[in-house]
Chain A
Amino acid sequence: MGSVPLSHYLALGSALFAVGFAALLVRRNALVVFMGVELMLNAANMTFLAFSRAHQTMSGQAAAFFVIAVAAAEAAVGLAIMIALVRNRNTLNVDEVDTLKY
């Protein structure tokens, strides 16, 4: 066991993305779906940092910084939407909130 190759970091990133994607598709609780989105953003950060390390440039780290800031903004707005959802519809099940579908 020597140093870890780039592909293992990328595979870890895609595994985290796949788990977040599965949470998005399988779970029906809006909060858990939202946590899956956060996990997918983290997986994107992982690939940014892995390539930043492999190419020895720090631009990827600056991009990861902005991803974290965007995730914070997204969490604030998304959780506000959940509060409005529970107040108006009294549900967190994404199957019951499908008015925009029709």
Chain B
Amino acid sequence: MTEAILFYPMALVAIGGALGMIVSRNPVHGAMFLVLSFFGIASIYVLLAAELIAALQVIVYAGAIMVLFVFVIMLLNLHEDDLERPRLTPGTILGGAAALAFWMISFMIFADLPDQTMPVELSEGFGKVASVGRLIFGPFILPFESTSILLLVAMVGAIVVAKPRI
């Protein structure tokens, strides 16, 4: 019962923030709308009994990544004439129609899925830090270590690409 009361408003916040990101002309406003959307998504993760991922969503996405976005927007120091003019071309109409068609087709497929009820009973500690951590440091240890190398490579790559002279 409380799940339905919380789910639909939060889904509305998530999609509304995402739509605000598309329609806002200034990238800073778009980034702020995207932060709103990420908070809505994080609250839906809590409903899905994924507390660790919800906390990571707020800390990493709404915190670190969006701060990086806003920092780069400030650094680039865009002027008014750098912002794009809203216009209606065949390309934009086709793009919006393709996205809408994708959503409607996927919705029709999901509505026909058998066995839709979510299980009520969950195992002890489902989605908590301890149990997810035991999973990541156990069966998923190889992807975890690969991720550390990926982050190192991304850090070096970002410095090499963004620095004017090395």
Q: Is the CB of A29 within 8 A of B76?
A: no
Expressed in whole angstroms, the minimum distance between the Cβ of B158 and any Cβ of chain A is 4
Expressed in whole angstroms, the minimum distance between the Cβ of B74 and any Cβ of chain A is 12
Contact partner of B116 (CB less than 8 A), chosen from A7, A53, A62, A93, is A7
Contact partner of A83 (CB less than 8 A), chosen from B21, B50, B75, B92, is B75
Q: Is A76 among interface residues, defined by CB-CB distance under 8 A? A: yes
What is A's interface to B at a CB cutoff of 8 Å? 1-12, 14-29, 31-32, 34-36, 38-39, 42, 45-46, 49-50, 52-54, 56, 58-59, 61-62, 64-66, 68-77, 79-84, 86-87, 91-93
Expressed in whole angstroms, the minimum distance between the Cβ of B120 and any Cβ of chain A is 7
Q: Is the CB of A79 within 8 A of B68?
A: yes
Instruction: Say what secondary structure dominates the interface of chain B.
Output: helix
Question: What is the CA–CA distance of A33 and B131 in the complex, to the nearest angstrom?
Answer: 36
Closest 10 CB pairs of A and B: A25-B95, A73-B154, A22-B99, A18-B103, A80-B162, A14-B106, A80-B158, A5-B116, A19-B18, A1-B4
Q: Give the most central of B53, B57, B100, B150: most A CB within 10 Å.
A: B53
Q: Is B111 among interface residues, defined by CB-CB distance under 8 A? A: yes
Q: Is the CB of A14 within 8 A of B118?
A: no
Number of B interface residues at 8 Å Cβ cutoff, please give it: 86
**Total of A-B residue pairs, C-beta within 8 Å:** 245
Expressed in whole angstroms, the minimum distance between the Cβ of B108 and any Cβ of chain A is 10
List the B side residues contacting A83 at CB < 8 Å. Answer: 72, 75-76, 161-162
Q: Is B80 among interface residues, defined by CB-CB distance under 8 A? A: no
Contact partner of B7 (CB less than 8 A), chosen from A4, A59, A62, is A4
Question: What is the CA–CA distance of A7 and B34 in the complex, to the nearest angstrom?
Answer: 24
Instruction: Say what secondary structure dominates the interface of chain A.
Output: helix
Q: Is the CB of B69 within 8 A of A35?
A: yes
Q: Is the CB of B48 within 8 A of A23?
A: no
Q: Is the CB of B151 within 8 A of A73?
A: yes
Question: What is the CA–CA distance of A72 and B15 in the complex, to the nearest angstrom?
Answer: 22
Q: Is the CB of A8 within 8 A of B7?
A: yes
Asked whether A5 and B117 contact (CB < 8 A) given A11-B110, A68-B61, A83-B76, the answer is: yes
Question: What is the CA–CA distance of A54 and B150 in the complex, to the nearest angstrom?
Answer: 30
Question: What is the CA–CA distance of A25 and B118 in the complex, to the nearest angstrom?
Answer: 34
Expressed in whole angstroms, the minimum distance between the Cβ of B30 and any Cβ of chain A is 5
